[in-house]
Structure 1
Amino acid sequence: MKILHILDHSLPLHSGYTFRSQNLFRAQRKLGYEPVIVTSPKHEESWQGDWADKEEINGFTYYRTGATPSLPGPMTSEARLMVALARRLYQVAREEQPVILHAHSPVLNALPALWVAHKLKLPLVYEIRAFWEDAAVDHGTTQEGSLRYRLTKRIETMVCRRADHVAILCNGLKNDLVARGIGAQKITPVFNGVNPDDFQPCPADEEYLDSWGLAGKKVIGFIGSFYRYEGLDLLVRSFARVAENQPDTVLLLVGGGEMEDELRALIASLGLTDRVVMPGRIPHERVPGVYAMIDILAYPRYSMRLTELVTPLKPLEAMAMGKVLVASDVGGHKELIDDGQTGVLFKAGDEQALAERLQMLLDNDQQREALQQQGMRWVREHHTWQQTTAVYQDIYAAIKR
C-alpha cells in the first residue's frame, strides 16, 4: 500500500525532523507499506547543495517542489509556498496513485494536502510534531497571544477537524488538541523511538577523544541543535559552578545553531575556554561514538509551551546508549523520564539546581550505574521504532477507502 508523505524538509539535511522521518519510513517499509515523499519549498531554502526534481535517498523516492521567493507582507511568502506545494503534490499524487496522503507538520504542509485529498478523494492523516505557532514564538517571528499566533492556532485546529485522522508525537500534544475539542478517538500518538542496532553501548570515538583532548576526563555533554529553548546558556553557567570543584571535568557541546556565537562569548566571559569543547556538527554515523565518551548527558530546556508539550528524541538515544541524563522538569521531559529511576530531573531555569544534580552524579558512580541500566532497559522495552510505529497499521486500516 503506497503512502504519500508530505514533509517540510528531509535528508540530506540533518535535523531531528529529518532523522525521525527517515526512521518512520524504514519502519513503515517493514510493516509492508511503500512510502513516497514530497518536500515543501522549505527544503530548498535550507539545502545549498545539488538537487533534482526526483531523488532516491536510502532507497526512498523524494519529489522536490523547489524554492519559492520570499515576498514582503504578512503571510505572502507562506501563501506562495502553499500554492507551489499544492501544485507539486497534486502532480505527484496523480503520478504515484497513493492510497493515503500523510502530511507532517507544520500546518503549511497540511493545508495543501487537505486540498489535494479533497480533489482526489483520498484520506488524509495529519501528523503533528510540534505546533507551528509555538515554534514561531521561539524563533522570534511572533508572540504568544498575538493575532498571528491566534490565527495560526485556529487554522491548525481546523485542519485537525477536517483530517481523517491526527497522529501526534506525544501525549502533551494530544491533551492540548482534546482541550480544543478534537475527539480523543481521532488522535493517535506515534512516539519517538530508537533503533537498538544504531544506538547501543560501544567504544568511544578514539579520533575525536584525542583531537578534543578528552582522554582521562569526566565529560558532561549535550548533542543537538543550539536552539534558545534548549537552555545551553544555563548549562554553561551551571557548569561554571561545577568546574570550581571538578578540575578534571569538561563540558562538551556538539552541534550548532542560533546560540553558537552567544555561547562562545559566555564561555569566554566565564573563563571557561579551556574547559568547554565546541567542535561543531559531526556526521550522524559518528554520533554513537561521541555518546560513548560522555559520562552525563544534560538537557536543560527552558519552560515554554513548546517544551512543555513536546518530547525530544535525544534523551531516548542517550538511554539506549546506556548513559545517565539530567534534564529540566518541563512536560516534554517528564513524559519520558522517571526522576530517580531512568534519569534525574531539576527545576527548569534553576542554575543552582542543575549544578547540584550534576555534582551529585559526578560524585556517585554507583548511582550513575543504576540509572544507566534502568534507563537502557526502559527505552528498549517501550521505545524502539518497531514498537512506536506499529500504530500506523490501525490508523491506516481505519481510514482506508
Structure 2
Amino acid sequence: MTRILHILDHSLPLHSGYTFRTRAILKAQQARGLDVRAITGVRHGGEGPPTEEVEGLTFHRTPGQPSGPPGLREWSEVTLLQAGIERLAEQWRPDILHAHSPALCGMAGLRAARRLGLPFVYEIRAFWEDAAVGNGTGSEGSIKYRLTRALENHVVKGGDAVFTICDGLRDDLVSRGHPADKIAISPNGVDLTLFGDPPPRDDPLTAKIGIGPGPVIGFIGSFYDYEGLDDLIAALPALRTRHPGAQLLLVGGGPMETALRAQAAASQAASAIVFTGRVPHAEVERYYSLVDVLAYPRKKSRLTDLVTPLKPLEAMAQRRLVAASDVGGHRELIEDGITGLLFPPDDPQAIAAALADLIDARDRWPAMRERGRSHVAARHDWARNVNRYLDVYQELLGREGMGQSAAAPSA
C-alpha cells in the first residue's frame, strides 16, 4: 500500500478552511486505498497528544518552540519540522512527502525529502505574502513579503511536482518562469456525500436571533477586511428601498468584527442587520437554512484575483443561491447568471442593485441552484478530484494502477 505523508501548517481538530480542505484530501485518498498520515508544524498550537487521531485520520505533532528574532525564528520552525518529518519517516517509511503551503512547510518538506531520497510534492493554496496583506498583517513589497515570495519560488523550483488550487495561482507561477508542465491543479472541492437535500428553514432559530421572512442576505465565515463585508453593510439601505423586508445575517467573527458592528450600528438599516458571533461548526447548517442568498463581496486585490475560496462551493453543494464580487477567484467558480451572480467589487450601490435584481427574479432561483450543484458535482467533487493526485503520485513512483483498490469515478 502506497504511503503518503502530508506536511501541514495546522490541522483538525482545529477548524478552518485549511483544515477542512486537508480533511477532504486525506479522506479521499484513504477511500482510494492509500495509506495517509500527516505531520503539523509548531504553529498548529492546539492542545493534544504527540500523535492524535481525529475523524479516522492520524496527525503527528512537531515538538519544540522556535526562538530568535524574525528570520531566524522562521528558520528554527523549518528545522524543527524537518527533524520531525525525518524521525517519523524512519518509523513509518512513507513513499512520498506531500507538503502544503505555507512555504515554511514546503521548505521543511523539501529538505527532508532530499535527505531521505523521497519524491517531493508541494501544494500551494494561497501565496501567504498576499494573504498577509489581505488580513492586515503585512504590506506588499516589504522585506518580509519579498523573502516569503523568494522562499516559495525556491520550494517550487526544488519540488518534483507542484499543485495549486486554481488557474490564478498556476498562471502566476508560470509568469515567474516555472515550467507549466510541472504544475497541476487540484481545485477546491467538497465531499458531496456530506451534502444531501438542504434542511428546511429553522423557524425556532429565526425567532431566537430575530430574523424575519426576508429576503435574507447572508455571509458565513471569517471577518477579514478583504471579504468586503463593509461594502455589504453599506449596500443594505439601498437594497431595502426596493425590498423593504431585506435583512443581512452575518455569522462568524474575526479581525474586522468590531469595526463592522460599529458600522452596522450607525447604518440607516441597523435594525435589519443581525450578527450571531462565531457558532459551533455542527450548528452552521441551521444558519444556512435561514439565508436566501449567500453573498461573498470580496474586495478586488491580488489575493482575491488569484485565489479561489471554498465557501461558495460549499453553498452551491447545499443548493444555496450564491452572489459574489466579480474578482478572479470568484470567476473561476461561478458563471454569472448561470450558477450564481457576479456583481462589481468595491461598489455598494452596484451590489445593492444586483442583489435587488436577483431577488426580483425568484422564478430563476430553482434552476440556478440546480446548475450550481451540478457544477460542483462535475468539477469540484473530491471523489473525482483525488485522481489528479493519484496520476502524479503514480508518475513519480513509476507505478501503475495506483489507488484502484476502491471504485471511484474517473476525473
State TM-score, norm by structure 2.
Answer: 0.92
Counterpart of 1:337 in structure 2 is: 334
Q: Does 1:240 align with 2:255?
A: no
Counterpart of 1:149 in structure 2 is: 145
> Could you tell me how far 1:215 is from its partner in structure 2?
4.8
> Could you tell me how far 1:154 is from its partner in structure 2?
1.8
Q: How does 1:219-234 map to 2 (within 5 A)?
A: 219-234=216-231
Counterpart of 1:42 in structure 2 is: 43
How many residues align? The count is 396
Counterpart of 2:261 in structure 1 is: 264
CA distance in 2, matches of 1:275, 1:70: 48
Name the amino acid aligned to 1:238. A
Taking a change above 3 Å as real, the CA distance of residues 253 and 110 of structure 1, as seen in their structure-2 partners, is: same
CA distance in 2, matches of 1:67, 1:307: 34
Counterpart of 1:390 in structure 2 is: 387
Taking a change above 3 Å as real, the CA distance of residues 311 and 108 of structure 1, as seen in their structure-2 partners, is: same
Counterpart of 2:402 in structure 1 is: none
Q: Does 1:13 align with 2:14?
A: yes
Q: Does 1:25 align with 2:26?
A: yes
Name the amino acid aligned to 2:135. H
Cα deviation per residue 1:318-366 (whole Å; 9 max; x = unaligned)? 1111121111111000011111111111111111111101111122211
Name the amino acid aligned to 1:33. L
Counterpart of 1:249 in structure 2 is: 246
Q: Does 1:96 align with 2:92?
A: yes
Q: Which moved more, 1:359-368 or 1:5-14?
A: 359-368
Give the secondary structure class of the aligned counterpart of 2:194: coil
Give the secondary structure class of the aligned counterpart of 1:173: helix
CA distance in 2, matches of 1:314, 1:118: 36
Aligned partner of 2:52 among 39, 51, 55: 55
Taking a change above 3 Å as real, the CA distance of residues 273 and 69 of structure 1, as seen in their structure-2 partners, is: farther
Gap runs ≥5 in structure 2: 399-411
Q: How does 1:147-186 map to 2 (within 5 A)?
A: 147-186=143-182
User: Conserved in 1, the CA contact under 8 Å of 2:66 and 2:74?
Assistant: no
Counterpart of 1:217 in structure 2 is: 214
> Could you tell me how far 1:185 is from its partner in structure 2?
1.3
Name the amino acid aligned to 1:281. R
Cα deviation per residue 1:50-85 (whole Å; 9 max; x = unaligned)? 3111111111111111462564x3323212211211
CA distance in 2, matches of 1:98, 1:116: 12
Taking a change above 3 Å as real, the CA distance of residues 297 and 67 of structure 1, as seen in their structure-2 partners, is: farther
Counterpart of 2:118 in structure 1 is: 122
Give the secondary structure class of the aligned counterpart of 1:80: helix
User: Conserved in 2, the CA contact under 8 Å of 1:205 and 1:286?
Assistant: no
Counterpart of 1:357 in structure 2 is: 354
CA distance in 1, matches of 2:394, 2:377: 27
Cα deviation per residue 1:252-287 (whole Å; 9 max; x = unaligned)? 111111111111010011144421111122222332
Q: Which moved more, 1:75-84 or 1:391-400?
A: 75-84
Aligned partner of 2:300 among 300, 303, 314: 303
CA distance in 2, matches of 1:74, 1:225: 27
Aligned-residue Cα RMSD (Å) equals 1.6
> Could you tell me how far 1:196 is from its partner in structure 2?
2.0
> Could you tell me how far 1:140 is from its partner in structure 2?
3.1
Aligned partner of 1:76 among 68, 72, 78: 72
Counterpart of 1:287 in structure 2 is: 284
User: Conserved in 1, the CA contact under 8 Å of 2:135 and 2:226?
Assistant: no
Q: Which moved more, 1:81-90 or 1:268-277?
A: 268-277
User: Conserved in 1, the CA contact under 8 Å of 2:29 and 2:36?
Assistant: yes
> Could you tell me how far 1:35 is from its partner in structure 2?
1.2
Give the secondary structure class of the aligned counterpart of 1:154: helix
CA distance in 2, matches of 1:29, 1:232: 38
CA distance in 2, matches of 1:25, 1:15: 15
CA distance in 2, matches of 1:62, 1:353: 46
User: Conserved in 2, the CA contact under 8 Å of 1:192 and 1:388?
Assistant: no
CA distance in 2, matches of 1:121, 1:69: 26
Name the amino acid aligned to 1:61. T
User: Conserved in 1, the CA contact under 8 Å of 2:191 and 2:381?
Assistant: yes
> Could you tell me how far 1:171 is from its partner in structure 2?
0.8
User: Conserved in 1, the CA contact under 8 Å of 2:40 and 2:59?
Assistant: yes
Q: Percent identity?
A: 46
User: Conserved in 2, the CA contact under 8 Å of 1:42 and 1:67?
Assistant: no
> Could you tell me how far 1:150 is from its partner in structure 2?
2.1
User: Conserved in 2, the CA contact under 8 Å of 1:117 and 1:124?
Assistant: yes
Taking a change above 3 Å as real, the CA distance of residues 35 and 53 of structure 1, as seen in their structure-2 partners, is: same
CA distance in 2, matches of 1:218, 1:250: 6
Give the secondary structure class of the aligned counterpart of 1:389: helix
CA distance in 1, matches of 2:67, 2:233: 36
Aligned partner of 1:328 among 319, 325, 329: 325
Give the secondary structure class of the aligned counterpart of 1:197: helix
CA distance in 2, matches of 1:197, 1:217: 30
CA distance in 2, matches of 1:204, 1:89: 47
CA distance in 2, matches of 1:333, 1:149: 24
